[in-house]
Amino acid sequence: MKTLVVYSTLTGNTKKVAEAVASVLPECDLMPVEEAPASVEGYDFVALGYWVDRGLPDQKARTWLEGVKNAKLAFFGTLGAWPDSDHAKECMARGEAMALEPERGNAVYGSWLCQGKIDPKILEVMAKMAGNVHPMTPERRARIEEAAKHPDENDCLRAQEFFRTVLEKVK
């Protein structure tokens, strides 16, 4: 069984999870989305990692995903929000829906997300934005502070567990 892990990352959070995932997949090629092949032919399983950008898998991951056909795939990713939030669930559903567009011939085995530290520069820009759409509340501050600790060792272990389970279904 030959497997492929492709990841998109800005600040390294998703790369860290990608490396953990790749280490438990058989005969795995691991590559950043910028170097990923246009076709996934020859791979029995593909894992695509993205960072969440305004409620969606980031643009580079989406663009690469457009070319993925006849694949068995699953997603992983990192985001600032809580992984069990509606926001996270919607993002996962959107990613999966793109892969499952008719005529693509893909089979999706699920998605897994964890928190990832938010670039302080982005937080600064957001705070300065006129009509701040995300005002700072105690809840939001706690979430950002928690995100700053992730992805951690436990996230990597849980991602590995998710993909081990997925692999059993793919086989």
Ligand X SMILES: Cc1cc2nc3c(=O)[nH]c(=O)nc-3n(C[C@H](O)[C@H](O)[C@H](O)COP(=O)(O)O)c2cc1C
Number of H helices, E strands in the chain: 6, 6
Q: Cβ–Cβ contacts within 10 Å for residue 76, how many?
A: 27
Site for ligand X (CB under 6 A): how many residues?
Answer: 21
Identify any residues that bridge with 48 across adjacent strands, giving them in sequence order: 6, 75
Residue 105 CA to residue 55 CA, distance in Å, equals 25
Q: Minimal CB distance to ligand X: which residue? A: 116
Nearest distance from C-beta of residue 37 to ligand X, angstroms:
21
Q: Which is nearer to ligand X, 33 or 167 (CB)?
A: 33
Q: Which is nearer to ligand X, 1 or 122 (CB)?
A: 122
- Site map for ligand X, 71-110, x if CB under 6 A? -------xxxx-----x-----------------------
CA distances from 125 to 46, 57, 118 (A): 35, 21, 12
Residue 79 CA to residue 99 CA, distance in Å, equals 20
Q: Which is nearer to ligand X, 2 or 134 (CB)?
A: 134
Q: Which is nearer to ligand X, 7 or 106 (CB)?
A: 7
Q: Which residue is it, tokens 């800005």?
A: 10
Interacting residue with ligand X among 4, 6, 13, 99 (CB under 6 A): 13
Residue 44 CA to residue 40 CA, distance in Å, equals 9
Q: Which of residues 52-71 bind ligand X (CB under 6 A)?
A: 52-55
**Where does this chain bind ligand X (CB under 6 A)?**
9-14, 51-55, 78-81, 87, 116-119, 122
